[in-house]
Structure 1
Amino acid sequence: MVRQTFTMINPTGFHVRPIKTFVQTALSFPCKVNVINKGKQVNGKSSLSMLTLGIAANEEVTLEIDGEQEEEALEALGKLLTEIHE
């Protein structure tokens, strides 16, 4: 298992479009993806679950990834959290 904390830099937070991209990316990996924000943990492969986190700009988000290709998934998903999205 790998675990890393990232800071959401997108000024509008993590809204529907970037969540859709995040979930599609997470689904492309065969590992388990958990996303933790403000003490709440959800399945990173579920758009609805991700929306319930309400991740705002400058908040810390922890990814916990376990299984095949976990390192690759961490790199790809972490990048999505630390980029500006429209």
Structure 2
Amino acid sequence: MAVRKVIVESSAGLHARPAATFVQTAAKAPVDVTVAKPGGTPVSAKSILSILALDVRSGEVIVLNADGDGADQVLDELAAIVSVP
């Protein structure tokens, strides 16, 4: 299992446009991907409603998890999306 802790740099947090791009990228991945706030319950990174419900704001840390072939690559892509200011 691959894991990444990432600081969300987008001024909008993980809402609206950044969330849509994040979910689209996760949906294309051939592996299961989850996202959570530290200590929180993981949700599917492929569900826009679940991502929006996390209410991730700029400067917060999220934990990305993926399991399977290509897990590291998809987590790198997702981390890059949320790291754009």
TM-score in terms of structure 2 length: 0.92
The total of aligned residue pairs comes to: 84
Give the Cα–Cα distance (whole angstroms) in 2 for the partners of residues 13 and 71 of structure 1. Answer: 23
Give the Cα–Cα distance (whole angstroms) in 1 for the partners of residues 5 and 73 of structure 2. Answer: 15
The 5-angstrom pairing of residues 5-84 of structure 1 reads 5-38=5-38, 39-84=40-85
SS at match of 1:78: helix
Q: Deviations over 1:32-81 (max 9, x none)?
A: 10001151311000001101000001100010111121011011001011
SS at match of 1:63: strand
Q: Is the 8 A contact 2:10 2:18 kept in 1?
A: no
Offset of 1:31 from its aligned partner? Answer: 0.4
Query: Gapped runs of 5+ residues in structure 2?
Result: none
Give the Cα–Cα distance (whole angstroms) in 1 for the partners of residues 69 and 49 of structure 2. Answer: 24
Task: Tell me the percent identity.
Answer: 33
Q: Is the 8 A contact 2:13 2:58 kept in 1?
A: yes
Query: Gapped runs of 5+ residues in structure 1?
Result: none
